[in-house]
């Protein structure tokens, strides 16, 4: 099943529904960074939640979520844009913590700290306007509850969030990832709120449904007891970094002349690696010389 996200509502109710399957993109991110199972779960949940938030964006907008935390994972960063491109990394991919009741201890690797959410307009075409930034305390470290707390407190939208990553421990492979967000917009009655909250609380976990082959829409139908759901928008999701050899060369070109000349004199070239996707780029001596004005190259 192709990774996909949908944006939906329930006709007649002031409710926003977001749901996605992210198995492939989470698996790719975790494989690129060689994360432990607990770090995979933390990274995968953050990537999924960020992809869901980005579904409400318009063209050329992007959302960045960061967990600045004191747990062994050291921090988590995820970025998603309106095209469905999602990327991210953890600062310490080898982070681990003792399981709790037989389950991966995500809160144990995350610890305490703050969750930062930035929404940038026009960022993807170099015309960024003043971004919106929200910061809340990490309340649980389980990621899903922290997304719910952020949306309820910082954006003033009461939200139920289910984010999950199922890792096969023996092989350290991501077999399922995804989740959904149910938001109660202003005007939602107390009765509707209580009904939807009870339905979501009784629903199977997101990864349980994905392992059984559920699509994003089917997850919502199961979670909401097959209430009528109207899909307003949908798009594919994929792991995609915006790094490139040209971007790295541009960064090198901004270095002081003395540093570039020292690299040229060294005679070995450079291998530069993107910390977001781990892609490496080879920069030759000729590349480095080309970054200096011709009259200064000997």
- Which residues, 6+ apart, have CB-to-CB distance to 117 below 8 Å? 53, 63, 64, 65, 133, 134, 135, 150, 154
Q: What is the pLDDT of residues 124-170, one digit of tens each?
A: 545 556 678 899 999 999 999 999 999 999 999 999 999 999 999 99
User: What does pTM read for this prediction?
Assistant: 0.91
Tracing tokens 């919106």 back to the chain, one arrives at 132
The percent helix, strand, coil of the chain (3-state, each to 5) is 35, 30, 35
Q: What is the pLDDT of residues 69-123, one digit of tens each?
A: 999 999 999 999 989 999 999 999 999 999 988 899 999 999 999 999 998 876 5
Predicted confidence at residue 124, as pLDDT, reads 52
Task: Give the residue from 138, 139, 178, 184 showing the smallest Cα distance to 162.
Answer: 178
| CATH architecture of the region 245-296 | Alpha-Beta Complex (3.90)
Residue 65 has which token pair? Answer: 């979520």
Domain range summary for the chain, segments of one domain joined by +: 4-239, 245-296
pLDDT band at 296, cuts 50/70/90?
very low
Is the pLDDT confidence value at 298 over 50?
no
Q: What is the mean pLDDT of residues 205-214?
A: 95
Fold agreement (4-239, 245-296): no
Name the fold adopted by 4-239: Hsp33 domain (3.55.30)
Distances from the Cα of 85 to the Cαs of 76, 146, 218, 255, in angstroms?
A: 17, 22, 23, 30
| Highest-pLDDT range among 78-92, 191-205, 263-277 | 78-92
Task: Give the residue from 202, 132, 119, 216 showing the smallest Cα distance to 160.
Answer: 202
Q: What is the mean pLDDT of residues 269-293?
A: 89
A 10 A CB-CB count for 79 gives 24
User: Which H or E run contains 178?
Assistant: strand 173-184
User: Which H or E run contains 39?
Assistant: helix 37-54
């Amino acid at each position: 099943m192709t990774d996909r996200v949908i944006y939906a509502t329930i006709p007649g109710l002031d409710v926003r529904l977001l749901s996605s399957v992210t198995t492939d993109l989470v698996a790719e991110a975790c494989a690129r960074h060689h994360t432990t199972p607990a770090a995979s779960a933390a990274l995968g949940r953050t990537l999924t939640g960020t992809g869901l938030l980005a579904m409400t964006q318009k063209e050329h907008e992007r959302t960045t979520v960061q967990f600045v935390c004191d747990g062994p994972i050291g921090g988590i960063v995820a970025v998603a844009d309106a095209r469905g491109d999602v990327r991210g990394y953890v600062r310490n991919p080898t982070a681990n913590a003792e399981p709790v009741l037989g389950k991966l201890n995500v809160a144990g690797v995350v610890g305490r700290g703050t969750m930062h959410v930035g929404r940038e307009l026009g960022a993807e075409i170099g015309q960024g306007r003043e971004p919106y930034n929200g910061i809340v305390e990490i309340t649980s470290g389980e990621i899903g509850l922290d997304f719910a707390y952020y949306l309820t407190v910082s954006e003033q939208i009461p939200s139920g969030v289910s984010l999950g990553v199922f890792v096969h421990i023996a092989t350290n492979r991501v077999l399922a990832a995804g989740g959904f967000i149910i938001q109660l917009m202003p005007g939602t009655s107390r009765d509707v709120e209580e009904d939807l909250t009870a339905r979501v609380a009784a629903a199977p976990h997101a990864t349980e449904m994905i392992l059984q082959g559920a699509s994003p829409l089917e997850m919502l139908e199961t979670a909401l007891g097959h209430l009528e759901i109207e899909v307003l928008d949908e798009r594919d999701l994929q792991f995609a970094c915006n790094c490139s050899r040209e971007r790295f060369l541009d960064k090198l070109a901004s270095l002081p002349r003395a540093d570039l000349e020292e690299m040229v004199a060294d005679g070995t070239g450079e291998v530069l690696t993107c910390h977001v996707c781990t892609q490496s780029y080879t920069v030759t001596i000729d590349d480095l010389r080309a970054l200096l004005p011709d009259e200064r190259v000997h």
